[in-house]
Structure 1
């Protein structure tokens, strides 16, 4: 290739892609200081162009009709600088931006959560190696980055994976190691290229920074400390909350404490035997399974009787009635079964990830109510028996046991 062709190729490859959000789209904007008329020439005849060997666009991807260079327009420094060309890179679908098919790959779809930071490092390495084109040759499924989709890869994990991609120097070391292993039997002076590759890879692993647990440890500790402070302050001032406000605050805490639950449905209508029933709250886990939760304000004397009945402390009506209520809710859900799954999935589709299905599969119950800090040791012992009696169906928690779980969790996180 002569010097002129090399120079032309360099000029065509120079330029920069940046990203911005406009309405429901992510726009890839191409900017260059060099003449870009050649690009319009390609697009005008229906051709595509690949930027950084990664982003493939054509005229059909224009966000708006671009301003073309005017060969007769000049400023004091010469020809006017070309205007940016904006392409539609991705379009919002629910909580994810769906990358236009063919821009990065053609084999599968790529979904990027709205909270993921969009920049070039997500799509190609410093040596212009397209990350998704490399992945395309190895998998056959859609990719979700970030968010709560059941198939999603966390952004920090995905970026960690990219950091492990081999760079140009590592590729050279690998080739040297392979060639060295072939020729060393015939050439005694062959250097130990395999050892050199091994040392480099070991050093690279050390340079990757803190492990995932280290990276999230402080945030995790702060999260549990904040929940503990919030719950403690609520219990100290419970009278200032209405029941509805109280339930809302506790539900937020439950979602943080139990990350398997991704959504709370309120006032859920259930159809059983031609009758309409209403469940206060329904928890949805990451697999679509539902559980029932009942939340009561923490009145003191609602757990166990103060006096004996046949030498035992027994549950008060408030507790036994709440257990019965949960059991009925579970009964209604099980009776509703597949018809209910379809109904709930359709009704709440806009609140859940795409293609997410709600499942009614032997639901469990959670009850949060009352205090046990004022119970005697004997009352607590009998209360434990009551909890174990129902544990296969209902997890009964007092606010004191919730605080204890938080304390133990905080202590364990601190020890890591």
Structure 2
């Protein structure tokens, strides 16, 4: 108690008075030497883990079913379907906003216009992100031919990245005025008291399937390394996922939860 009292005194007046020795450091050393009161007994969470396993298994099976029936779905269908499950796939988000307007005063300075973003996501702190969803088979991510022994992004992927980055640019330039307008327009989609914030928004693109290895020039070529390099090139602004990436992530989450449940 003496050490704690001295540590509190130092924390309050430490900026004005420099003691000969740090009471805070002495108190922390005392806590480190003390026997921990936290037991090694695991928390009772099997029921919660089982519920999580069922949730992610449901999402995995649902996406796999959609991919099997892909030829019967339009891009608008895929956007609507993914919008229904995106909050379960990415729990950090709490709201999906559709047809989000954004002011564009740069494309033509003489005639400002309003763009429409198909889908945006809002996280628990109110931060706004952009999500772009393309139909799996209609939007390949890598070309089928080599350029100097490298696979290069397709026009569809490059176009999706540029479109998303322009949305992020216009949102950032909109600033405080945009935050107020979007908060007023989508208040019904947000928890009471939460305001939309535009602070370094990020983009998420879901499109295409992961390319399969194939024989080129008499040897098997795997696209995966080239695809990962391309993803990392845009990672500071945009996260790129294929539908196979989603399935793989879900499989890994399920395997991790099952291992935790068994232990």
- Normalised TM-score (structure 2): 0.75
**Which whole-Å CA distance do the structure 2 matches of 1:314 and 1:329 have between them?**
24
Partner of 1:384: 228
- 189, 204, 209: which one aligns with 1:351: 189
Could you tell me how far apart the structure 2 residues matched to 1:258 and 1:367 are? 13
Structure with larger RCO (C-alpha < 8 A, sep 6+): 2
Q: 1:306 aligns to what SS in structure 2?
A: strand
Name 1:334's counterpart in structure 2.
172
Name 1:415's counterpart in structure 2.
259
Structure 1 counterpart of 2:135, from 297, 302, 307: 297
Does the residue aligned with 1:313 lie in a helix, a strand or coil? strand
What's the CA shift string for 1:183-204, capped at 9, x where partnerless?
xxxxxxxxxxxxxxxxxxxxxx
- Native 8 Å contact 1:265 1:283 kept in 2: yes
Structure 2 unaligned blocks of 5 or more: 1-40, 106-111, 215-220
Q: CA RMSD in A?
A: 1.7
Displacement, 1:272?
A: 2.7
Change in 2 beyond 3 A, CA 1:281/1:301: closer
Task: State whether residues 288 and 358 of structure 1, in contact with CA within 8 Å, keep that contact through their aligned partners in structure 2.
Answer: yes
Offset at residue 300 of structure 1 (A): 6.3
Q: Deviations over 1:154-197 (max 9, x none)?
A: xxxxxxxxxxxxxxxxxxxxxxxxxxxxxxxxxxxxxxxxxxxx
Q: Note the 1:239-258 alignment, pairs <5 A.
A: 239-258=71-90
The change in CA–CA distance for 1:375 and 1:268 in structure 2 (over 3 A counts) is farther
Map residues 145-160 of structure 1 onto 2, 5 A cutoff: none
Matched-pair contact (CA < 8 Å) for 2:172–2:199: yes
1:236 maps to which residue?
Answer: 68
**Cα shift at 1:336:** 0.5
Residue of structure 2 equivalent to 1:374: 212
Contact 1:333 1:360 in 2 (8 A): yes
Partner of 1:279: 117
Could you tell me how far apart the structure 1 residues matched to 2:191 and 2:139 are?
42
Q: Is 1:404–2:237 an aligned residue pair?
A: no
User: Aligned partners of 1:268 and 1:387: how far apart in 2?
Assistant: 26
Structure 1 residue matching 2:225: 3-state secondary structure: helix
Partner Cα distance (1:266, 1:281) in 2: 5
Please state how far the C-alpha of 1:400 moved relative to its aligned partner.
Answer: 0.7
Checking the alignment, whether the CA contact within 8 Å between 2:139 and 2:157 is kept in structure 1 is: no
SS of 1:224's equivalent in the other structure is helix
Query: What is the CA deviation profile of residues 75-124 of structure 1, one whole-angstrom value per residue up to 9, with x for unaligned ones?
Result: xxxxxxxxxxxxxxxxxxxxxxxxxxxxxxxxxxxxxxxxxxxxxxxxxx
TM-score, normalising length from structure 1? 0.48
1:36 alignment partner in structure 2: none
Output the CA distance in 1 between the equivalents of 2:53 and 2:120.
28
Check whether the contact 1:300–1:371 (CA below 8 A) recurs between aligned residues.
no
Cα deviation per residue 1:222-255 (whole Å; 9 max; x = unaligned)? Answer: 0011001101111011112222221121122221
Q: How does 1:71-82 map to 2 (within 5 A)?
A: none
> Would you tell me which structure has more helix in proportion to its own residues?
2
Is the contact made by 1:373 and 1:400 (CA closer than 8 Å) also made in structure 2?
no
Deviation per CA, 1:343-380: give whole Å up to 9, x if none. Answer: 11111112211111100000000000001142445322
Other-structure match for 1:365: 203
Alpha-carbon distance in structure 1 between the residues aligned to 2:47 and 2:137: 40
Change (3 A) 1:301 1:328: closer
CA distance in 1, matches of 2:164, 2:61: 29
Match of 2:33 in 1: none
Question: Equivalent residues in 2 for 1:99-138 (5 A)?
Answer: none
Number of corresponding residues = 208
Indicate yes or no: 2:125 matched with 1:320.
Answer: no
